[in-house]
Chain A
Amino acid sequence: RKEVEQDPGPFNVPEGATVAFNCTYSNSASQSFFWYRQDCRKEPKLLMSVYSSGNEDGRFTAQLNRASQYISLLIRDSKLSDSATYLCVVNMNYGGSQGNLIFGKGTKLSVKP
């Protein structure tokens, strides 16, 4: 069973569109949740952490539903520069573990003019 699953994508949207990504995780003991962004052949970069209460950062809104083990990311008014692969990431962070990050395979977003 895959630990973190995401929409396969790719998502091809026009500039200004709103796009939503979904993610599910299999281990209910997961403690921390993130969305990372990865440009082609580059390193992952933290986009935002995800909290149960939901959180917003400008055009980006993340939601977490622990009961359903479901995480979402909403991008409003998408820009050309939003084109990237969006990685759903979970951290176990329990016991003596430093909490290795468990990555989803990512969803590719392409924003067109």
Chain B
Amino acid sequence: EPEVTQTPSHQVTQMGQEVILRCVPISNHLYFYWYRQILGQKVEFLVSFYNNEISEKSEIFDDQFSVERPDGSNFTLKIRSTKLEDSAMYFCASSRTEMNTEAFFGQGTRLTVV
């Protein structure tokens, strides 16, 4: 069964450092998303990406965040200068079409900022 894969599964970084979280969406999917979940809290939307550009972003997704699809398979989330409050589980998701909003989630990357 096709799945969304994320690497690494766990990343520890020092405050102020840049991190890149990587995702390989399901191959025939066209829409890509990043969500985050701070421990004990709800899953929150960060950004959606379609046709090589951001289609929607939340208030959380400020100038410190960026996304990129550097090749035909990878989808990355970059945090330029990490803060303690960026510590969370980051989930990548993909979906096939706009109307099919069934999003398939990757297993997540746990980011710990120290």
Contact = CB atoms under 8 A, between A and B. Distances in A.
Q: Say if A and B assemble together.
A: yes
Contacts of B18: none
B100 to A, nearest CB: 10
A45 interface: yes
Contacts of B68: none
A29 B85 CA distance: 31
Interface string B88-111: 010100000011011111111010
7 contacts: A34-B101, A96-B55, A97-B48, A97-B55, A101-B43, A101-B45, A103-B43
Interface of B: 31, 33, 35, 41-45, 48, 50, 55-56, 58, 89, 91, 98-99, 101-108, 110
Interface of A: 32, 34, 38, 41-46, 49, 87, 91, 93, 96-106
Contacts of B50: 98
Nearest to B110: A41
B48 A100 contact: yes
B33 A43 contact: no
Q: Which 10 residue pairs across A and B have the least CB separation, nearest first?
A: A100-B45, A43-B105, A103-B43, A105-B42, A98-B48, A103-B42, A98-B55, A91-B101, A99-B101, A32-B101
Nearest to B92: A43
A87 B43 contact: yes
Contacts of A44: 43, 91, 105
Contacts of B101: 32, 34, 91, 93, 99, 101
B41 A99 contact: no
Nearest to A31: B101
Contacts of A93: 98-99, 101
Contacts of A41: 89, 110
Nearest to B3: A43
Given A44-B43, A104-B42, A106-B42, A98 B98 contact: yes
